[in-house]
Structure 1
Amino acid sequence: MPAQSVRAPGVLVAVDGGGSKTDAVALSAAGEVLARATGASSSPQNLGLDPAVRVVDSVVREVLAAAGAPADRAACYLSGLDLPEEIAAFSAAIAHLDWAGTTVPPVVDNDLFALLRVGTAEATAVAVVCGTGINAIGVRADGAQLRFPALGMISGDWGGGSQLGQEALWHAARAEDGRGAPTSLRSEIPAFLGLPSVRAVTVALHFNHIRPDVLTALTPLLFAAAEAGDAVAGSLVDRQAEEIITLAVTALRRLDLLETAVPVVLGGGVLAAGHERLLGGIRGALAAAAPLAEPTLVTARPVAGAALLLLDQIGADPAAHERARAALC
C-alpha cells in the first residue's frame, strides 16, 4: 500500500489592512502567536482590487512560511471594504488562493470590526476610526448593524490624516498669497518638505514631483501648530473632533443607544497619537450628547482584533483570548 501524505496541522491567519500598512498574524487555536508579517497598504479603494489582493496574498504567504504550517482558517479585515459589492468582489478575488481554500471560507469585512474587537468584547458597541481616512460602525446584540459608505467627500465624510493634510496645505497657501488668515503652517509645511515656499509645494504636487500621499505626513505638523496656539490649526483640530463625535452620536442614535451604557471605541493613527485637544473635545461632546457612552481609546494594532475575532469564531476558551491579547496588544 502506498504511503499516504498527512497534512500538517493548520493555523489561524488574521489580516488587518489599513490605509498605510497591512498586518498579518498566524496563531494556534490556543491563542499562541506563531508568526507575524507586515506589508504595504491594502485598501482596495486606494490601490484597486488586484493590487490589494497581491499585498494581502504576499503577507499571508510570508506569515504562513514563518509559521511553517498551512492555513485552517483565515480572516481579512480591510480598509476600503465599505460596500457589500466591495466585500463580495474581494472575497471572489481571493477564493482561488490556496490559503483561502479552507473548509470554512475566509471572513472578509471592513477593518473597523477588528478595531471594535480590540476595544471591547461587547455585542453592542460603536467604533470610530480616524487614521488615513474616517469611518464608523455600530453593532447591537440583536444583530442590527449600522455602516457608513465612507467614500470621502462624495459620501459626506470629512477628516482623517489625508484630508487634514490637504486642509493644512490649503490654509498655508491662502496665508502665503494673502487670501487667508496667517498661520505658522505657511512656513512649517515647506520646511518639512525641504522646499522654499508653499507655492513650491503646490507646484511640486501638481507636476507629481512629490507624491500626493505626503499630505498625510503633514498631520503631526498640524497638531503641533494647534498645540502651540495657532488659531487656524486649532480650528481644524476642533472640526475633526466634531466630525468624530457626529459619527459616533449618529450611530448611537440610529441604533437607539443614546441612553444606553455602550462602549465607543476610538482608534486609527490620528486618534491613537493621543493629542489632548482632539481627545478632550471628543470626551466632552460625547458626555454631553450620550452621557452613558463609554469612550475607549485603542492604541494597539487592529490585527489583534482580527485575531480575537478568529478565536471567537472557533469557540476558543478565554485563556486563548488572553494569550493572544497579551502577545498582540
Structure 2
Amino acid sequence: MLAIDGGNSKTDLAFIGRDGTVLAALRGPGASHEDYGIEGAMSRLGEMIRLTAGQAGLEGPGLVATHLSACLAGADLPEEEAALTSALLAGGWAETAVAMNDTFAVLRGGADESWGVAVTCGAGINCVAVAPSGETARYLAHGPLTGDWGGGFGLSYAVMWHAMRGWDGRGPATALGDAVAAHFGLASVRDVAVASHKGVITEDGLIKLTGVLFAVAAGGDAVAQSLVEKQATEICLMAVAAMRRLGMASAGVPVVLGGGVLESREPLLLEAVHRELAAMAPGAAPRVLDVPPVAGAALLGLDQVGATADAARRLRDHYRSSQPALA
C-alpha cells in the first residue's frame, strides 16, 4: 500500500506492507494541485513515487501498490477529491486509490478509531468531524472568505496589526512591536512593515512570527495573550460546531490537534484549548497528534484493505519511535 500526505511545501510518501511494516519512506517537495494544477501535481508525485518504490524494491513496469491512500492539502470540495482520485488512478501506481483532504490524516493519525474530530492549525486552519456512522462535517477552509481565523498566517498578520497600532498609538501598548523588530534585526516594527511591503520580508518570513507571539505572551503581555486566547477559542469553536452538526454527544469524543501551531505544544495555547473545550464540550478528549500525518494516511489505507489491528499498532509504533523526543 502507498500512503501520501501532500502539503503545500512538502510531500511525505511511504510504502506500507499489509502487516503495517514501513517498507520505504521519502519526503519530497510540495506537489499541490493548487500550485501546479492536477497534471503538474501528478507529474511531481509520480517522480517521488518512483523514487520511493525503488527504495522498497518495487521497481519495474506496472502497478506498484494494491491501494493508494492520499491525503492532500487543498482537496476541500468533493469534486476536487474526485478529480484527484481519478488522476491518481490514471497514474497507474495502484489498483485502487482514494484522495481526501489532509485533515483526515490528522484525525486518523491521532484517533484510535476512524471517527472523532480533528483540528489542523498550521499555516491555515481547518477541521473535520467524523461520526461513528461515517457521516462527516467539514469546512471550506478558504480563510476569512469562509469565516476562518488563525493559523500561522492569520496569527502573524494579527501580530503585525497589533504591533503597528501599539507603535503608532492607535491601539494599546504592547511588547509585540519591539519583539517583531528584534526578530528581523530592524530598528522598529514600521521598518518591518516597509520591508514586507517591498518584498524584502516574504510571507514565509512573516509566518515565523507565531514564535514571537508565544514568547511575548509567555512574558505576560496582555495583547499577545489575547491573540493566543482568540486562537484557542477558534480551534474549539470549529471542533464543537462540527460535532453539533453531526449530533455527536461530546463525552468521549477524541479531538485531535494537529498542524505546526498546535504540534509546537505551546503551553499557553494548549492550556487555553483544554480549558475552553472542557467548557464547550464536556468530556471531549483533546490530544496532540504524536505521529506525522503520513501515518494517518497510511492507517486510512490499512483500514481500506482490511488490515488487522496488529498492523495498525505496528505502524504507529514505527512512527512514534522515529519522532523526535518531546520536552
Normalised TM-score (structure 2): 0.90
1:152 to 140, 143, 146: 143
Q: Could you say which residue in structure 1 is the equivalent of 2:4? A: 15
Select the residue among 167, 172, 181 that pairs with 2:163: 172
- 1:27 maps to a residue whose letter is I
**Counterparts of 1:177 and 1:253 in 2: how far apart (Å)?**
43
Which residue does the alignment assign to 1:57? 46
1:253 aligned to 233, 236, 244, which one?
244
Note the C-alpha offset of 1:264: 1.3
Matches of residues 175-186 of structure 1 in structure 2 within 5 Å?
A: 175-186=166-177
1:6 corresponds in structure 2 to none
Partner residue, 2:323: none
Aligned residues: percent identity? 45
Aligned partners of 1:133, 1:150: CA distance in 2, in Å? 8
Match of 1:230 among 215, 221, 228: 221
Residues 1:277 and 1:177: Cα distance change in structure 2 (over 3 Å): same
Partner Cα distance (2:224, 2:31) in 1: 30
Following superposition, the deviation at residue 48 of structure 1 comes to: 5.0
> d(CA) in 2 for partners of 1:41 and 1:173?
33
Distance of aligned partners of 1:103 and 1:52 in 2 relative to their CA distance in 1, 3 Å threshold: closer
Q: Which runs of 5+ in 1 are unaligned?
A: 1-11
Cα 1:259/1:38, change in 2 over 3 Å:
closer
d(CA) in 1 for partners of 2:182, 2:221: 17
Which residue pairs with 2:73 in the alignment?
A: 79
1:42, 1:78 within 8 Å by CA — same for their partners in 2? Answer: no
Identify if the C-alpha distance between structure 1 residues 87 and 294 changes in structure 2 by more than 3 Å, giving closer, same or farther. Answer: same
Q: Write the letter of the residue equivalent to 1:39.
A: G
CA contact (8 A) 1:23 1:37 kept: yes
Q: Which amino acid aligns with 2:78?
A: P
Cα distance in 2 for residues equivalent to 1:89 and 1:280: 40
User: Does the CA contact (< 8 Å) of 1:19 and 1:133 recur in 2?
Assistant: no
Judge conservation of contact 1:130–1:161 (CA < 8 Å) in 2: yes
User: Please, which moves more after superposition, 227-236 or 202-211?
Assistant: 202-211
Quote the residue 1:272 is aligned against.
Answer: 263
How far did 1:50 drift?
Answer: 4.8
Determine helix, strand or coil for the equivalent of 1:74.
Answer: strand
Equivalent residue of 1:80, what SS?
Answer: coil
Write out aligned runs for 1:88-167 (5 A).
88-99=82-93, 102-104=94-96, 106-167=97-158
In 2, distance between residues paired with 1:29 and 1:112? 23
Distance 1:95 1:193, change over 3 A: farther
3-state SS in 1 of match to 2:126: strand
Counterpart in the other structure of 1:313: 304
CA deviation map 1:117-156 (0-9, x unaligned): 1111324311111111111111112221101101100000
Who is 1:3 aligned against?
A: none
Cα offset, 1:20, TM superposition = 4.0
Report the Cα distance in structure 2 between the residues aligned to 1:49 and 1:168, rounded to whole angstroms: 35
Aligned counterpart for 1:298 among listed residues 279, 289, 299: 289
Task: Kindly indicate whether the alpha-carbon contact (under 8 Å) linking 1:237 and 1:278 is maintained by their aligned counterparts in 2.
Answer: yes
- Which amino acid in the other structure matches residue 84 of structure 2? F
Stretch moving more, 81-90 or 161-170: 81-90
The one-letter amino acid of 2:196's match is L
Indicate conservation of the 8 Å contact 1:249/1:258, yes or no.
no
More divergent stretch after superposition (172-181 vs 218-227)? 172-181
In the alignment, is the contact (CA less than 8 A) between 1:116 and 1:127 conserved in 2? yes
TM superposition shift of 1:95: 4.0
Amino acid at match of 1:165: S
Structure 2 Cα separation of the partners of residues 142 and 161 of structure 1: 33
The 10-residue stretch of structure 1 (307-316 or 119-128) with the greater mean CA deviation from structure 2: 119-128
Answer whether contact 2:110 2:290 (CA < 8 A) is retained. no
Paired residue type of 1:159 = G
Tell me how many residue pairs correspond in the alignment: 315
User: Quick one: distance in 2 between partners of 1:93 and 1:207?
Assistant: 39
For 2:169 and 2:35, how far apart are their aligned partners in 1?
A: 34
In 2, the alpha carbon distance for the partners of 1:124 and 1:97 equals: 30
How far residue 218 of structure 1 moved from its aligned partner, in angstroms, is 1.1
* Residue aligning to 2:204: 213
C-alpha RMSD over aligned residues: 1.9
Is the 1:23–1:59 Cα contact (8 Å) retained in structure 2? no
Moved more, 43-52 or 23-32: 43-52
Please give the per-residue CA displacement for 1:78-99, whole angstroms capped at 9, x wherever unaligned: 1211111322332344443232
Q: Is the 8 A contact 1:20 1:132 kept in 2?
A: no
1:107 deviates by: 0.9
**SS of match in other structure, 2:207:** helix
The answer on 1:28 being equivalent to 2:17 is yes
1:243 lines up with 2:223 in the alignment: no
Of residues 207-216 and 233-242 in structure 1, the stretch that sits farther from structure 2 once superposed is: 207-216
